[in-house]
Structure 1
Amino acid sequence: MRKIVASMLMALDGVVENPEWTVQFRREDSQKYKSDELFASDALLLGRRTYQEFAAGWPSMQGTGKYGERMNSLPKFVVSTTLSEMEWNASLLTGNLAEEVSRIKQQPGQDVLIFGSGELVHSLMSLDLIDEYRLMVFPVVVGGGKRLFREGSEKKVLKLIETRTFSSGVIVLTYRPDRP
């Protein structure tokens, strides 16, 4: 069974929105981690906003090498109630979210990776469909913006399965839901 993996860029204060604050922390070791993560997946699951931003940039981005080739070639599953046409190797998920994602998980293959897509991650968290959280925590306090774990979120017990520290001070905390 495939895993649904939420890979989130997060500030110390929990903000996951508009991560332009990550640029100053990019180093070779963290870039390799993100590349390895992408190559360990064979599909992306994206919310509408992230899909539109990525689809507008990635296909014509120059100098991205094998990472860009992989990003552009992977199938994308997009969750949206407003889009009707897809491009960039994408399929629109239009049915019941829990059923659609469960169906994708049952297909053979590697992990299905969620980049960003905060609203989608919240919906999937409430349905207990995320199998792994990879929180790339940056040593910066943004001060405001959407957070991954928002006020009023349902209590979730997570089990730490891995930590990794990069030369920039960025830490990846990998958790799985502590399911019975």
Structure 2
Amino acid sequence: MRKVIAAINMTLDGFCDHSVIIPDEEIHQHYAELLDKADVVLYGRITYQLMQFWQTLIKNPSGEKSMDDFAMAIDKIQKIVFSHKLKNTEWDSAKLSNQPIEEMVIELKQQPGRDILVGSRSLIIQLMELNLIDEFQLCVHPVVAGSGLPLFENMKDRTIFKLIKTKTFSGGAVTLYYEPTNKKTTNR
């Protein structure tokens, strides 16, 4: 069965805010390699629209190898977008989901192939509530945002995780690799 991996950048204070996180070459290369090891990435509308920036580097490469490599990796991987507002994706390797997320992920997990990535905060929360995430890769950057969208907002249950490994980047970011233990307790 394929593994569902939630991979996301966040600040030290737990916020998902791309405007305060500045990925370096090493981070871009890390995520390009992660994309190359997967078959599909799932996005919500907002994150998907942010990721469309990378299409510009496909047409006009920046000359910075790590950014151009990431642009090529994100361009070629299949993207499934969950949105009620978008009418089309305007990206050849992307399609709108025609199923609810739970049905789509269960179907994808049963197919042969490589990992399924989840790169949107909203989808991570939904899939976590459905107990459909097999691994979390939280890249914590050495930045305090002070405000923004917290990754684990409005969670109904307390979930316990097992740390399986870490990866430290020279710029100070650390990716924490966790597996949920599937032990949940209701928050009071």
| Structure 1: gaps of 5 or more residues | none
Q: Give yes or no for contact 1:15–1:147 (8 Å, CA) kept in 2.
A: yes
Matching of residues 88-103 of structure 1 within 5 Å:
88=91, 89-103=93-107
Give me the TM-score of the superposition, normalised by structure 2. 0.85
Select which of 143, 166, 170 maps to 1:167.
Answer: 170
- Letter in structure 1 aligned against 2:172: G
Matching of residues 1-180 of structure 1 within 5 Å:
1-16=1-16, 18-23=17-22, 26=24, 28-55=25-52, 57-61=53-57, 62-63=61-62, 64-88=67-91, 89-115=93-119, 117-179=120-182
CA distance in 2 between counterparts of 1:14 and 1:139 reads 11
Higher relative contact order (CA 8 A, sep 6+): 1
Aligned-CA RMSD value: 1.8
Give me the TM-score of the superposition, normalised by structure 1. 0.88
Tell me the percent identity.
Answer: 37
**SS of residue in 2 equivalent to 1:98:** helix
Q: Give yes or no for contact 1:164–1:171 (8 Å, CA) kept in 2.
A: yes
> How many residues in Structure 1 have an aligned counterpart in Structure 2?
175
